[in-house]
Homo-oligomer: A and B are copies of this chain.
Amino acid sequence: MAINTQVTADQNAPPITQILAKFISSHPSKAWSDSVDHEAHRTFMNWLACAVGAANHESVLASLGAVQEFSPAPQASILGRHEKVDMANAALINGISSHTFDFDDTHLKTVIHPAGPVASALVALAEHIGSSGRELIDALVIGIDVACRIGNAMYPNHYDRGWHITGSTGTVGAAAACARLLGLSEAQTAMAIGIAASQPVGFREQFGTMTKPFHPGGAAKAGLTSALLAKHGFTASPRALEAPRGMIQSISTKYDWTEITEELGQRFEISLNTYKPFACGIVIHPSIDACSQLRAQGVTAENLERLELKVHHLVLELTGKKTPKDGLEGKFSVYHGCACGIVYGQASEDQYQDAVVQSPEMVALRAKVQATVDNSINEASVDVTAYLKDGRKIHLFVEHAIGSLKNPMTDDQLNKKFTNLTAPVIGLKETASLLAACWDLKNLPNLQGLLAHSKPL
A194 & B206 in contact (Cβ 8 Å cutoff): yes
A218 & B199 in contact (Cβ 8 Å cutoff): yes
What class of interface size applies to chain A in its complex with B?
35 or more
B86 & A71 in contact (Cβ 8 Å cutoff): yes
Contacting A198 at CB < 8 Å: which of B58, B167, B229, B235? B167
Chain A, 81-116, contact with B by CB distance < 8 Å: what is the 0/1 string?
A: 000001110000000000000000000000100000
Closest to A233 in B: B62
Q: A162-B250, A205-B237, A211-B194 are in contact. Are A71 and B75 (CB under 8 A)?
A: yes
In the complex this chain forms, how many copies of it are found? Answer: 2
> Would you call A268 an interface residue if the criterion is a C-beta within 8 Å of the partner chain's C-beta atoms?
no
CB interface residues, A 189-223, toward B, < 8 Å: 194-195, 197-206, 208-211, 214-215, 218, 222
Across-interface contacts of A283 in B (CB, < 8 A): 1
- Bound-state CA distance A71–B160 (Å) is 40
> Would you call A348 an interface residue if the criterion is a C-beta within 8 Å of the partner chain's C-beta atoms?
no
Contacting A245 at CB < 8 Å: which of B61, B86, B162? B162
- Bound-state CA distance A194–B206 (Å) is 8
Closest to A164 in B: B198
> Would you call A377 an interface residue if the criterion is a C-beta within 8 Å of the partner chain's C-beta atoms?
no
- Bound-state CA distance A319–B204 (Å) is 41
B218 & A58 in contact (Cβ 8 Å cutoff): no
Interface centre among A70, A162, A163 (most CB of B within 10 A): A70
Interface centre among A2, A195, A235 (most CB of B within 10 A): A235
> Would you call A12 an interface residue if the criterion is a C-beta within 8 Å of the partner chain's C-beta atoms?
no
Across-interface contacts of A231 in B (CB, < 8 A): 66
B218 & A237 in contact (Cβ 8 Å cutoff): no
Q: A63-B234, A87-B70, A232-B65 are in contact. Are A206 and B214 (CB under 8 A)?
A: no
Across-interface contacts of A87 in B (CB, < 8 A): 69-70
Contacting A210 at CB < 8 Å: which of B209, B211, B234? B234
Chain A, 126-168, contact with B by CB distance < 8 Å: what is the 0/1 string?
A: 0000000000000000000000000000001000111110010
Contacting A66 at CB < 8 Å: which of B160, B209, B229? B229
B66 & A75 in contact (Cβ 8 Å cutoff): no
- Bound-state CA distance A246–B205 (Å) is 5
Contacting A195 at CB < 8 Å: which of B5, B214, B318? B214
Q: A6-B161, A215-B198 are in contact. Are A209 and B237 (CB under 8 A)?
A: yes
Across-interface contacts of A222 in B (CB, < 8 A): 218
Across-interface contacts of A204 in B (CB, < 8 A): 245
> Would you call A249 an interface residue if the criterion is a C-beta within 8 Å of the partner chain's C-beta atoms?
yes
B198 & A250 in contact (Cβ 8 Å cutoff): no
Closest to A89 in B: B70
For residue A333, give the distance in angstroms from its CB to the closest CB of chain B. Answer: 18
A209 & B235 in contact (Cβ 8 Å cutoff): yes
> Would you call A72 an interface residue if the criterion is a C-beta within 8 Å of the partner chain's C-beta atoms?
yes
For residue A87, give the distance in angstroms from its CB to the closest CB of chain B. Answer: 7
Contacting A70 at CB < 8 Å: which of B4, B72, B202? B72
Interface residues of A (CB under 8 A from B): 1-6, 58-59, 61-63, 65-66, 69-73, 75, 86-88, 111, 156, 160-164, 167, 194-195, 197-206, 208-211, 214-215, 218, 222, 225, 228-229, 231-237, 239-240, 243-247, 249-251, 282-283, 314, 318, 379
22 A-B pairs (CB sep. < 8 Å): A6-B162, A61-B232, A62-B229, A63-B229, A66-B228, A66-B231, A66-B232, A70-B72, A70-B86, A70-B87, A71-B75, A73-B73, A162-B249, A194-B211, A199-B202, A199-B218, A205-B240, A205-B247, A209-B235, A209-B237, A211-B234, A251-B251
